[in-house]
C-alpha cells in the first residue's frame, strides 16, 4: 500500500465570513526552529480595505441584535472552541509552545469567551445611569457600540491574547478588523474557523495575517474605522496616534506581555469601545418628591 500523504491546511485570511487568499498573492513561511510549519498570507492594504468594508456592512445588523442574542452567539463560540481543544493545543505546540502551557492557554481562552459573553446584557446596567437634572426631563445615559474597531492583536500569545482583546470589542455590537500576531498567526485563523461556524454573522470579525508594519498605518488612517485597540506590546504607539488624528479615533493601548491573569477579566474592556448616549426625555412637571417617573 502506498504511503498516505498528509493533507495540510492552507491558512487563509478571514473577511466577511469567507476565507479568501490575500489579494496580493504574497505569503511568508512560518517556521518552528528550522522546520517549516505553514505558509501564511501577507495581507495587503486592499485586503484591509475589503475587511473594513465587510465590517461596516455587518455593523448595523450586529449592533441591532439583542444583547441576549449576541451573548448566546459568543457562548456558542466557546462551545465550538471546546470541541477543537486538541487542535488548538497542537497548533500552539507546533508554533513552539510546550504542551502544558498550550493546554492551559486553550482552556483559559475558552473560559474568557464565556466571561465576556456573560457581560452582553449586563454592561448597560453597570455603566448606564439615570441622571438628576433640574428640568422636567427624564435624563438617562446608556452605552452604545462605536462601529468598526481595528485590533492590533497581542504579538506574544496566539490565542489567549486574541480572545481577550477581540471578545470585549464584539460583544457590545462593534465589528472588528484584526491584525493577527505575526509570530503566532495560526491560532487566529483556526479561531476564524470557529467564528465562521458559531452563528457570528459574516463581517463581524475579520482577521488578517501578515506584516503589521505594512498595515497599521492604513488601518489607523482609515476614516471608516472608529477606534483602535493597540495590544501589541508597545509597538506602533507613536505612529498610530499620529495617523489616527484625522477622524479623532479613540485609541486604547494595553501593553501586556501576558494575558493569563484574571485581572484581564473586567467590563471596562467592553466599555472602552462604547459611546455614551444621553437622552433628554420630556416628562410632566416633576412631582413633590422630585420624581416625575
| Binding of residue 221 to another protein (CB under 8 A) | yes
Query: What is the edge-to-edge ordering of all strands in the sheet holding 205-208?
Result: 205-208, 175-179, 148-152, 227-230, 250-253
Convert residues 164-203 into a mask of x (bound to another protein by CB under 8 A) and - (unbound): ----------------------------------------
d(CA 230, CA 176): 13
- Among the listed ranges 138-146, 159-167, 193-201, 222-230, the one in contact with another protein (CB under 8 A) is 222-230
Part of the chain binding another protein (CB under 8 A), chosen from 183-191, 220-228, 232-240, 250-258: 220-228
> CA-CA distances (angstroms) from residue 137 to 242, 276, 291?
41, 18, 10
The CA distance from 107 to 292, in Å, is: 50
- DSSP classification of residue 261: S
One residue of 52, 58, 192, 270 binding another protein per CB under 8 A: 52
Considering the rule CB under 8 A, would residue 85 count as an interface residue with another protein? Answer: no
Paired strand residues for 279: 140
| Site for another protein, residues 240 to 259, rule: CB under 8 A | 246-247
Nearer to another protein, 26 or 218 (CB): 218
Return the C-alpha cell found at 254.
494595553
Stretch of residues binding another protein (CB under 8 A), selected from 108-116, 157-165, 214-222, 273-281: 214-222
Q: How far is the CB of 69 from another protein (least distance, A)?
A: 26
Question: For residues 21 and 49, which CB has a smaller minimum distance to another protein in the complex?
Answer: 49
Q: How far is the CB of 168 from another protein (least distance, A)?
A: 23
The closest alpha carbon to 249, from 272, 265, 268, 233, belongs to 272
Write down the least CB distance from residue 229 to another protein, Å.
18
CA dihedral 236, 237, 238, 240 (to 10 degrees): 70
How many residues in the shown chain lie near another protein by CB under 8 A? 9
Closest by Cα among 57, 85, 44, 232 to 154: 232
Exactly one of 70, 76, 222, 264 binds another protein (CB under 8 A); that residue is 222
Residue 164: how many CB atoms within 10 A of its CB?
Answer: 27
- Contact range with another protein by CB under 8 A, out of 15-23, 112-120, 136-144, 219-227: 219-227
Q: CB 137: neighbour CB atoms within 10 A?
A: 16
Under the binding rule (CB under 8 A), the answer on residue 264 touching another protein is no
By the criterion CB under 8 A, which residues form the site for another protein? 49, 52, 218, 221-224, 246-247
Amino acid at each position: 500500500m502506498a504511503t498516505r500523504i498528509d493533507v495540510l491546511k492552507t491558512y487563509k485570511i478571514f473577511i466577511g465570513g469567507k476565507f479568501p487568499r490575500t489579494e496580493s498573492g504574497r505569503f511568508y513561511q512560518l517556521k518552528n526552529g528550522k522546520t517549516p510549519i505553514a505558509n501564511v498570507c501577507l495581507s495587503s492594504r486592499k485586503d484591509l480595505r475589503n475587511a473594513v468594508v465587510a465590517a461596516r456592512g455587518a455593523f448595523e445588523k450586529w449592533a441591532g441584535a439583542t444583547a441576549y442574542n449576541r451573548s448566546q452567539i459568543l457562548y456558542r463560540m466557546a462551545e465550538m472552541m471546546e470541541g477543537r481543544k486538541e487542535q488548538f493545543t497542537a497548533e500552539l505546540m507546533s508554533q513552539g509552545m510546550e504542551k502544558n502551557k498550550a493546554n492551559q492557554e486553550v482552556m483559559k481562552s475558552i473560559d474568557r469567551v464565556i466571561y465576556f459573553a456573560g457581560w452582553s446584557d449586563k454592561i448597560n446596567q453597570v455603566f448606564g445611569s439615570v441622571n438628576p437634572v433640574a428640568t422636567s426631563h427624564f435624563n438617562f445615559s446608556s452605552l452604545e457600540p462605536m462601529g468598526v474597531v481595528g485590533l492590533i492583536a497581542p504579538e506574544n500569545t496566539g490565542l489567549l491574547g486574541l480572545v481577550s482583546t477581540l471578545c470585549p470589542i464584539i460583544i457590545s455590537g462593534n465589528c472588528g478588523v484584526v491584525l493577527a500576531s505575526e509570530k503566532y498567526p495560526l491560532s487566529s485563523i483556526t479561531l476564524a474557523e470557529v467564528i465562521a461556524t458559531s452563528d457570528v454573522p459574516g463581517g463581524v470579525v475579520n482577521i488578517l495575517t501578515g506584516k503589521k508594519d505594512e498595515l497599521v498605518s492604513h488601518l489607523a488612517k482609515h476614516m471608516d474605522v472608529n477606534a483602535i485597540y493597540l495590544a501589541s506590546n508597545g509597538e506602533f504607539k507613536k505612529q498610530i496616534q499620529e495617523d489616527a488624528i484625522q477622524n479623532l479615533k479613540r485609541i486604547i493601548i494595553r501593553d501586556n506581555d501576558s494575558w493569563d491573569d484574571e485581572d484581564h477579566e473586567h467590563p471596562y474592556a467592553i466599555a472602552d469601545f462604547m459611546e455614551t448616549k444621553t437622552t433628554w426625555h420630556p416628562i410632566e412637571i416633576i412631582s413633590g418628591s422630585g420624581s416625575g417617573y
